Chain A
Amino acid sequence: MTKADMGRDLAATSGAPACSADSHQAAGAHAERLLNLYPATPAQVSPEEGMMLYRDMMLGRRFEDKCAEMYYRGKMFGFVHLYNGQEAVSTGVIKAMKPQYDWFCSTYRDHVHALSCGVPAREVMSELFGKETGCSKGRGGSMHLFSKEHHLLGGYAFIGEGIPVALGAAFTSRYKRDALGDSSSDSVTAAFFGDGTCNIGQFYECLNMASLWKLPIIFVVENNKWAIGMDHNRATSDPEIWRKATGFGMASEEVNGMDVLAVRAASQRAIERARAGEGPTLLECLTYRFRGHSLADPDELRAEAEKEFWAKLDPIKGLAAQLLEQKLATAEQLQAIEQEVDAEVADCVEFALAAPEPKPEELTRYIWAED
Chain B
Amino acid sequence: MAETLLFNALREAIDEEMARDPYVCVMGEDVGQYGGSYKVTKDLYEKYGELRVLDTPIAENSFTGMAVGAAMTGLRPIVEGMNMGFLLLAFNQISNNMGMLRYTSGGNYTIPAVVRGPGGVGRQLGAEHSQRLEAYFHAVPGIKIVAVSTPTNAKGLMKAAIRDNNPVLFFEHVLLYNLSENIPEGDYICALDQAEIVLPGKDVTILTYSRMRHHCLKAVEQLTEAGVDVELIDLVSLKPFDMATISASIRKTHRVLIVEECMKTGGIGAELMALITENCFDELDVRPMRLSSQDIPTPYNGVLENLTIIQPSQIVAAAKALKAGQV
* A and B co-occur in one complex: yes
Select which of A139, A176, A178, A209 is within 8 A of B106 by beta carbon: A139
Q: Which A153-197 residues sit within 8 Å CB-CB of chain B?
A: 153-154, 156, 158, 161, 163-176, 178-180
B105 touches A368 (CB 8 A): no
Q: Which residues of B are found within 8 Å of A370, using beta-carbon distances?
A: 165
Binds B, one of A30-38, A64-72, A200-208, A231-239: A200-208
Which residue on B lies nearest to A215, using beta carbons?
B66
- The answer to whether B66 and A167 touch across the interface, beta carbons within 8 angstroms, is yes
Residues of A contacting B70 with CB < 8 Å? Answer: 168-169, 171-172, 175
CA distance A137 to B104 in the complex (A): 8
Query: Would A163 and B62 be within 8 Å (CB), given that A146-B105, A169-B73, A366-B106 are in contact?
Result: yes
- B65→A146 contact, CB < 8 A: no
* B103 touches which of A105, A158, A367 (Cβ 8 Å): A367
- Among A153, A178, A209, A368, which residue has its beta carbon within 8 angstroms of that of B62? A209
Q: Across the two chains, which residue of chain B brings its CB closest to A212?
A: B57
- With A153-B72, A164-B64, A202-B62 in contact, is A209–B57 under 8 Å at CB? yes
User: Which of the four size classes fits the interface of chain A?
Assistant: 35 or more
Q: Is B52 an interface residue, CB under 8 A from the partner?
A: yes
**A165-B97 contact given A174-B51, A175-B51, CB 8 Å threshold:** yes
Closest to B74 in A: A172
Task: Check if A144 is an interface residue, CB within 8 A of chain B.
Answer: yes
Q: A136 within 8 Å of B by Cβ?
A: yes
B176 at the interface (CB under 8 A from A): no
Q: Are A201 and B62 in contact (CB under 8 A)?
A: yes
Chain B's closest residue to A148 (CB) is B108
Within 8 Å by CB of A164, from B25, B63, B106, B164, lies B63
B134 → A minimal CB distance (Å): 19
Q: Does B208 contact A (CB under 8 A)?
A: no
A302 within 8 Å of B (CB atoms): no
Interface residues, chain A, with chain B CB atoms under 8 Å away = 103, 105, 134-140, 144, 146-148, 153-154, 156, 158, 161, 163-176, 178-180, 201-202, 205-206, 208-209, 212, 365-370
Closest 4 CB pairs of A and B: A168-B69, A164-B65, A137-B106, A369-B165
Besides A161-B92, A369-B112, 18 more A-B contacts (Cβ < 8 Å) are A135-B108, A136-B108, A137-B107, A144-B105, A154-B104, A156-B97, A158-B96, A164-B64, A167-B66, A169-B72, A172-B73, A172-B75, A180-B22, A201-B61, A205-B59, A206-B62, A206-B66, A366-B102
